[in-house]
Structure 1
Amino acid sequence: MHVLLVASAFNSLTQRVHAELRDHGHSVAVELALPHVSLADAVRRHRPDLVLAPMLKSAVPEEVWSAHTCLIVHPGPVGDRGPSSLDWAVQERATRWAVTVLQANGEMDAGDVWASVECALPQEGKSALYRGEIADAALEAVLLAVDRFASGSHVPAPQTAGRARPAMRQQDRRIDWATDGTERVLRMLRAADSRPGVRDELLGGTWFLHGGHPEDRLRGRPGELLATRAGAICRATADGAVWIPELRAHRAPGEPTAPKLPATLALGDRLPALPERPAPPGSDPRRRTWCDIGYREEGQAGFLSFSFPGGAMSTAHCRRLLDAYRAACARPTSVVVLGGGRDFFSNGIHLGVIEASAEPAEESWANINAMDDLVEAVLTTTDRLVVAALGGNAAAGGAMLALAADEVWCRSGAVLNPHYRLMGLYGSEYWTYTLPRRVGAATAERLTSEALPLSADAAQRLGLVDRTLDCPPGAFAGRAAALAARLATAPATASRIAVKKARREHDEAERPLAAYRAAELDLMRQTFFDADAPYHALRRAFVRKEAAVATPPHLTCRAAGRHTAARPGGVTGPAAHDGASGPAGC
């Protein structure tokens, strides 16, 4: 069946739907719902069997829904209506929620119901829930609805009641630092963590606050800034304090959106002298505080966790993580696990910090070299096994960081984008070494040129991923830890480490890692320091949320369902798309 995805943006949920529908044998194309483009004309061009909207901020025109079955994915239970459904649920501390797939008609969110799936709603930020529990429920509901539509016999159920909730505005998100306690402040911040943020006044400026984490020991006058940690600021509440990792400067109407930045970088010279409070060493479950890098051990397994907002890794992030990795490798363990969190693994270099820099080319160069240093350290670890544990999505250099490990474990809901092309970059992080050795040169070329998302299952079939764990987001860390503990004590682990060391020496003799790095960085440097290179405009558009002018051509092509493709060594297995050079139908 050919499914057309209509979306306001090719966001994380749209990418996952795109990838998993292909896994189920459907051909899929995407059209962005843009103000100046006729959606009806686009649908006529595609001639889909089904129109599906995973994330749509505007109404489907009657000309479309009256001629085609159009299914809308709504992040709320049956009867819930409105554009801020999940925001209200997080802010009001709902513990259970649902995702409903309904048919578009003349009234927003009021159409017949094709499927609805419930999910837990733990106390996490809205964006982490959206990519985790909500996305899991959405995919289950989408696949159920698509199967029901394909059967031709299912009759959707009409909604008998509904509650329309208004769009959440900044006045609904306002924090009163003088009177609000920590729990209420966290609810406000978590309900707006990625977008739109909570508008607030701080140090003589207007900012949007992004992200919020509790602090159990620092105290001060409500609203006062108390300390910094790894780029975040700690601010006192009426009964405690919270850590805020990122800020975005307010801009007047008509001005471009400012990038989200580490809070201390955003504040710059406004920031008074504050003590830097490093995260407590080790992992103490009794503490309620924030840290973006942590380390703990269980027997012979070491766990180096990291979680950076949006998966973006600045030069400073990379250097701190490299220091932590080296410290972990100095410990007497046989396995080191990188990651293991519930959300993003990594999306590579920090485009926001680069965009905000006075010298974006220089910062781009510093950032990619810092990423390369980290990846090199992983690749040259020969005295233990390294596992990359991806509880969430990974893209570009972040995906290549994972491939530097000996094994890659993914939660089944993770989405991988192992390519750089859409940002106008050739890429580095030793991808020309790691990607072909896992999937072969032809498949590596196809993945990087097609630039389409892969589900964890598709990535495993291709050989990018060694193990997928089918579990809720919150259970991934525990599942990965149990597997790592068994791996660390397995009788074959010592011999695997010896084989790994020998292979690294063989590969180094054939072509040194330095040669891969030099070749990649030569092309990256040319791009960074060419003021007319598309990278600069693409980066700016991405960071500043500039509206797209058209649907990217690679998305409008029919991306075919899974098939078999050769792996290195002649092994065959299912792959993600038809054709060796591009998606079918281009």
Structure 2
Amino acid sequence: MRSLKIILLSSAFNGLTQRAWLDLRQSGHAPSVVLFTDQATVCRQIEDCDADLVICPFLKDRVPQQLWSNPARPLVIIHPGIVGDRGASALDWAITQQVSRWGVTALQAVEEMDAGPIWSTCEFDMPADVRKSELYNGPVSDAAIECIRDVVEKFAKGFVPVPLDYTQPNVIGRLQPNMSQAERTFSWYDCARFIKRSIDAADGQPGVLASIQGAQYYLYDAHLDSRHGTPGDILAVQDDAVLVAAGDRSLWIGSLKRKAQPGEETFKLPARYVLAEKLAGIPVLDGSIASQTFNEQAYQPIRYRECGHVGELTFEFYNGAMSTEQCQRLVAALRWAKARETQVLLIKGGRASFSNGVHLNVIQAAKVPGLEAWANIQAIDDVCQELLTARQLVISGLTGSAGAGGVMLALAADRVFARAGVVLNPHYKTMGLYGSEYWTYSLPRAVGSEVAHKLTEECLPISALQAQQYGMIQGIGPRCPHAFSQWLMQQASSALDDENYVLTRARKATLDLEQVKRCREHELAQMQLDMVHNRQQFAEKCRNFVLKRKTCQTPQRLMAPWAVAREAASIDE
């Protein structure tokens, strides 16, 4: 197949768009990103280039007629629903209605939204008790990549998309309205599983509006618990979450967003932060791994178990963000785990992501954001220090995608393994930061100084396969989360028999602690300028990220040379 010039038109360079961009490049094509800013700009960017095909992996904006009506250049929408399904709340309805099977459909854009002819479809069995972000970043993302590959192959062969025909018995999807808060609502007297499903279906955006202690909040990050109480009462606090009684049992609620007043902007924060003034007298439970038996069904953001000579520590922080206090809890857990008589320490992320570094939302909510950022970066550095100085062989498992400090945290381990399909963003500059987490030590150690410079300066995502080729990771496991966890434990259990183990032990024995210390001191000196003194507009970039401000233009680093050249020629004319 010849190399195609493909525009990826997207509302944001999100995880799926990054996967599509990487996958197309790996297949020998030349994708170029156009972020949807305003209709006039988007039309000019696409009309002025000679793209063969436009694919929209993640588009919340309506496609201008000028673009979809061009017969010479198809514009294909990737819709997270089965054939016939239409509407912006596809995943919300699928989770709410507990469908057993779902899918992704690639369809040509027409005037009526999601009603165009079909290019491709890919279905999957719906996971049980799945939250929307987990579904989107997992089976939906996988199916979307399959559809995009299929679309590109079919386009190259001159395929004509098939009109949507609701009279066909296999077309079972239907037009679904945008799900309103009235359709998401619940009573605390409802059963806990129903409430959890309502929150899961609104995970990420928009959340479920509910009342807690007489005030209105949008709820996220729900976990079932067996304790009982008066429905609606807060029964306990653990780490960042609050335990709220429901009709039959109770739920941990990890994150909240206060309902905004007119003209006000609010954002998600850990529930304990939001409800701080309402928690006087509420019991605070000890969530440390030293006091809790491992239980995958319980609310345990940090959990630990042992399997032979392997100690496995899992940390599952919502959206991969790590606040100062979360980092401090993780440091305490690591110190406890390091004191155990194990030979291998395996650290894993959660279901949806590994880590994205410091917690920008908590930083933005602080009275002095720069000082909170400064405390946060030192706390996550402490996590990395515990990994670098562990007696055990340390293995990190990238259960999901990682960015910025989250990538560098993984690299503080002796060996790194990744789940197939994860995307890594090993850079800081786009947030106005120099970066820390010992990256000036760990990244060159893994890939060499030349590649380290390239990765941190280009500010582009890389695939797990690229990371393995660079030497950042040593193996790629199954895409299925459950299968990956089993595979990861097998890797950890057999690590001591690996021929590379002797070399790794020798490297650990000769660790230059003074060099490591100097790297941290240099990084923090730079980060103080960025976080406290706002050298590179970190404060503004953090605020824009947290408040989800729309980008004003597509970054040039995401534009292919052919698209940049055409746009420059158009401007000159």
Q: TM-score, normalised by structure 2?
A: 0.92
1:57 maps to which of 57, 60, 65 = 60
- 1:450 and 2:458 equivalent? yes
- Pair 1:401-2:412 in alignment: no
Alignment of 1:181-192 (within 5 A): 181-192=191-202
After superposing the two structures, state which structure 1 stretch, 517-526 or 337-346, moved more.
Answer: 337-346
**SS of the counterpart of 1:331?**
coil
2:224 to 183, 207, 214: 214
Report the equivalent of 1:135: 141
CA shift, 1:466, in A, is 1.1
Greater relative contact order, per chain length (Cα 8 Å cut-off, separation 6+):
1
CA distance in 1, matches of 2:6, 2:500: 45
Equivalent AA in structure 2 for residue 528 of structure 1 = M
Root mean square deviation of aligned Cα: 1.8
Query: Alpha-carbon deviations, 1:47-79, whole Å to 9, x = none?
Result: 211101001112222211222211111001111
* Residue 327 (str. 1) matches residue 336 (str. 2): yes
Q: Deviations over 1:493-513 (max 9, x none)?
A: 7634531323424xx4xx611
Shift of 1:34: 2.0
Letter matched to residue 472 of structure 1: C
1:57-206 to structure 2, matched below 5 A, reads 57-67=60-70, 68-122=73-127, 123-150=129-156, 152-161=157-166, 163-178=174-189, 180-206=190-216
5+ unaligned residues in a row in structure 2: which ranges? 167-172, 564-573
Alignment partner of 1:414 out of 392, 398, 422: 422
Structure-2 residue corresponding to 1:580: none
**Identical columns (%):** 41
1:43 and 2:54 correspond:
no
Residues 369-388 of structure 1 aligned to structure 2 (within 5 Å): 369-381=378-390, 383-388=391-396
Distance in 2, Cα, partners of 1:283 & 1:88: 33
Structure-1 separation of matches of 2:274 and 2:536: 27
Post-superposition CA distance 1:288-347 (Å, at most 9, x none):
421100000110111100110110000011111111111111111111111153321000
| Aligned pairs, number | 548
Equivalent residue in structure 2 for 1:523, among 511, 523, 526: 526
| 2:295 aligned to which of 281, 284, 287 | 284
Using the alignment, how far apart are the partners of 2:361 and 2:483 within structure 1? 31
Letter in 2 for 1:163: R
Aligned pairs (5 A) from 1:359-374: 359-374=368-383
Answer whether contact 2:237 2:272 (CA < 8 A) is retained: yes
Secondary structure of 2:62's aligned partner = coil
Task: Please say if residues 98 and 119 of structure 1, whose CA atoms lie closer than 8 Å, have aligned partners that are also in contact.
Answer: yes
Determine if contact 2:417/2:473 at 8 Å carries over to the other structure: yes
1:132/1:413 contact within 8 Å kept: no
Give the whole-Å Cα distance in 1 for the aligned partners of 2:498 and 2:531: 48
Say whether 1:474 aligns with 2:482. Answer: yes
For 2:239, the equivalent position in structure 1 comes to: 230
Closer, same or farther: CA 236–533 of 1 in aligned 2, 3 Å:
same
The answer to whether the 8 A contact 1:337-1:386 is kept is: yes
Out of 552, 569, 573, the residue aligned to residue 555 of structure 2 is: 552
Tell me the SS of whatever aligns to 2:472.
coil
- Return the alpha-carbon distance in structure 2 between the equivalents of residues 109 and 545 of structure 1: 25
* Superposed counterparts of 1:233-248, under 5 Å: 233-248=242-257
Report if aligned partners of 1:2, 1:48 keep a CA contact under 8 Å in 2: yes
Report the CA distance between 1:203 and its aligned residue. 2.2
Whole-angstrom CA distance in 1 between matches of 2:247 and 2:441: 53
Provide the rounded CA distance (Å) in 2 between the counterparts of 1:112 and 1:370: 52
Which whole-Å deviations, capped at 9, do the CAs of 1:508-562 have from their partners, x for residues lacking one? 4xx61111111111111011122564100000000011222222232234499xx
1:160 and 1:167 map into 2 onto residues whose CA distance is: 22
CA pair 559-365 structure 1, distance change in 2 beyond 3 A: farther
Worse-superposed segment, 367-376 or 439-448: 439-448
Contact 1:384 / 1:497 at 8 angstroms: preserved in 2?
A: no
Q: Are the aligned partners of 2:529 and 2:535 in contact in 1 as well (CA < 8 Å)?
A: no
> Is the deviation greater in 452-461 or in 410-419?
452-461
Q: What is residue 297 of structure 1 aligned with on the other side? A: 306
2:279 pairs with 1:271: yes
Q: 2:37 aligns with which of 14, 18, 34?
A: 34
Which digits, 9 at most, give the CA deviation of each residue in 1:257-307, with x for residues without a partner?
Answer: x2211101111212232111234623236xx42110000011011110011
Q: Distance in 1 between matches of 2:295 and 2:562?
A: 47
SS of alignment partner, residue 156 of structure 1: coil
Give the whole-Å Cα distance in 2 for the aligned partners of 1:268 and 1:342: 28
CA distance in 2, matches of 1:436, 1:494: 20
Which deviates more from structure 2 when the two are superposed, residues 270-279 or residues 231-240?
A: 270-279
Using a 3 Å threshold, how does the CA distance of structure 1 residues 310 and 37 change in structure 2: closer, same or farther? farther
Secondary structure of 2:160 counterpart: coil
Paired with 1:341 and 1:558, the residues of 2 have a C-alpha distance of: 37
Query: 1:342, 1:144 → 2: CA distance?
Result: 28
- Kept after mapping to 2: 8 A contact 1:375/1:430: yes
Q: Per the alignment, in what secondary structure is the counterpart of residue 71 of structure 1?
A: strand
Q: How far apart in 2 are the matches of 1:470 and 1:498?
A: 27
One-letter amino acid of the counterpart of residue 145, structure 2: L
1:425 match: secondary structure: coil
Distance 1:464 1:191 in 2: 35
| Aligned position for 2:566 | none
Tell me the CA shift for residue 96 of structure 1: 1.7
Distance, in Å, in 2 between the alignment partners of 1:56 and 1:83 is 10
CA drift of 1:487 comes to 2.0
Amino acid aligned to 2:208: V
Write out per-residue CA displacement over residues 374-397 of structure 1, whole angstroms, 9 at most, x where no aligned residue: 11111122x321111011110000
Question: Does the 8 Å CA contact 1:408/1:464 hold for their aligned counterparts?
Answer: yes
> TM (normalized to structure 1)?
0.90
Q: Partner of 1:347 in structure 2?
A: 356
Are the aligned partners of 1:341 and 1:391 in contact in 2 as well (CA < 8 Å)?
Answer: yes
Q: Is the alpha carbon distance of 1:327 and 1:559 closer, same or farther for their aligned partners in structure 2, counting shifts above 3 Å?
A: farther
Deviation at 1:254, TM superposition (A): 3.1
Contact 1:5 1:52 survives alignment (8 Å): yes
Alpha-carbon spacing, 1:559–1:471, altered in 2? closer, same or farther (3 Å):
farther
